[in-house]
Structure 1
Amino acid sequence: MSAPSEPLAAPRDWAAEIRDRARALGFADAGVASLALDDDHAHLRRWLDEGLHGGMGWMAEHAALRADPAQLHPGTITVISVRLDYRPSAEDADAVLADAEAAYISRYALGRDYHKLMRKRLKALAEQLTQTIAPHGYRVFADSAPVLEKALARNAGLGWIGKHTLVLNREAGSWFFLGEIYTDLPIDAVPAEPVTPRCGSCTACIDICPTQAIIGPYRLDARRCISYLTIEHHGDIPEELRPAIGNRIFGCDDCQLACPWNRYAKLDATPDFAPRHGLDTARLIDLFAWTEDEYLSRTEGMALRRAGHLRWLRNIAVAIGNALADVRLSEAAASALVDALDSRSAFPDSTVQSHIRWALKRRPAAGSRSTALHSG
């Protein structure tokens, strides 16, 4: 489809029209983004040059595409950015993190994988714009291509980029997904007013990070980030970082949980993001017993599938090792966890085996646990 060569006449505010239609489709907000991305691309290049992306080589390979939307989708002159809230009604995160035998899964991954839902709604919005504004060529994105989505969301007025590198919104905190429509529609919209950053002198996200992955305001070292280590990273998790991972087996929310702005985030009622299979209260010992077939069956349609069964077992072995090191754990509970590790000791993968061996070494010497319990 080809778009009009001149800016569209504006019998009404197209940005407001887009926002209203997006909200009717279930998005929390939408805006038309300025394509001024030079500073953001320079920030990305510095980050890549420092090697802070770890093993995510694709980020460096396609960095140039992020700076110029028209390179990713020829003809793009307008980008529509949307926000989809996801904070689910789930077991209290702090309570799960404090329970050594529980498995903590990042809140966004407890329910349905958002990618298909996001793309479906974005396509519906794009097709509505065909009817409302004009036929157009477009492409939708949901964390599925090299897009500077946080910068575009900021440019669309959806929030500001916080010190933890996530987009923050006064009403929703950071509990939301981002998506984009790249289009050749020449929408003559007034650029969104930039949202004033409101992090101030707060460093809660930096201070709370278990592995000190936020090395400064707006600077994340992915190589130390628990989300990266438990999801993207293949092979051995560095031993020096394993104790700080605690019971986080898929992702980490600590910087979001600590952020004062997330006090204002409302629970999202979308059934798609509700916890599945009781995963918000799951026990490490139960999840470690899942066979590969069980893992594939129970994670179907979920972001959890991204880790794969081997990394799933690797991550849980680390969490069990950290539970064993907790002197508050009863001897009976510790013995059950050791039995679970032993049951997988012959698992045919060297990485899983090495993490199991590490976990078994975390158990305190005999008698020290009961001494600690009585002294406490």
Structure 2
Amino acid sequence: MFWPDTISKKLGIEYPVIQAPMFGVSTTEMVAAATRAGCLGSLALADLSADQTVALIRETRTLTNLPFAANIFVHHIPEITDALKDKYLKTKQFIEQLALEHHIEVKLPDLEEIKVNSYHEQVDAIIQEQCKIVSFTFGNLDDKSIQKLKENGTILIGTCTSLKEAQILEKSGIDIICVQGIEAGGHRGTFDADHILQIGGLSLLSHIYDHVNVPLIYAGGIYNAKTLRAVKDLGAQGFQVGNLLLASQESALLPFEKERLHNVKEEDILLTKSFSGRYARGINNKYIQAVENSEYILPYPYQNKLTNALRKAAKSLQNPEFAGIWIGQSIHQYSELSAEEILKKLIWECEDRLG
């Protein structure tokens, strides 16, 4: 049998293949499509409010009655100090002027207008809606939340980018650990927003496999049967794919963004904090070049909230130079078939060619 069955049995799915959450790219339709392929769909809830969380869970349930994961951000929220207020104002002015110089008129929010949500209200909403699989990133859940979710019979999937983070997750009783390789697109799941461990994903996976005893999902660079087989041989029992689904029918990316994917080159892809204040892997553009090494980057989530209107304006203008287009290092054809067909093709390739 090609597929390890530890994770699929635990999650109640046919194949241990997980659709990456990808907040802003994935949709409820993509989650449902993944479940139809026998995989685990991941509903990206990021740091939404409790009401928004409930609404998206209920919408997803109208599209599928199969298991899916609710994915949340468990980041630290920095205290608002006078220094942060001052830096926010300067950053806001700089980015508005930068946008204007490139013919984008946008009014970014004042600090007082920003609403920052704690994940704790999401935990309560998820329990209320009886979601039995929760994945999370940017840190670890606090002990009380872990206890509440466990008492509700919830399976917990934490994200790590280092052995130290994996051991923290294991010690706190997390059921499954997703090892995110540095190759992965989008935001790094690292606990420390300012520190990136410079180790390749395959080396990291092998190292963590030797030191922890919970089942491992691997994310980062999986785009065909060969790459999936490679991480399976290194100990992964689950396989998370996101880059493979970026241009799918259910993706929220607009046509101009999908077109940019089809033209991307290796040297275009980089890690940047410029859009959100946390490192994320995406496509280089004029905005990143102007902001990345400047003093105008606020801590997450304030940079992310500040630049949201700019990214929306860039989308409306079909301007890839000011849109955050997240992408992993494994460049491929970026199929525009449905996510269900893409995942079924991956599964078939694994079973037919490698099984």
**TM-score above 0.5, yes or no:** no
Q: Which has the higher contact order (CA 8 A, sep 6+)?
A: 1
TM-score normalised by structure 1 residue count: 0.24
> Which structure is higher in helix share?
1
TM-score normalised by structure 2 residue count: 0.25
Question: Which structure has the larger Rg?
Answer: 1
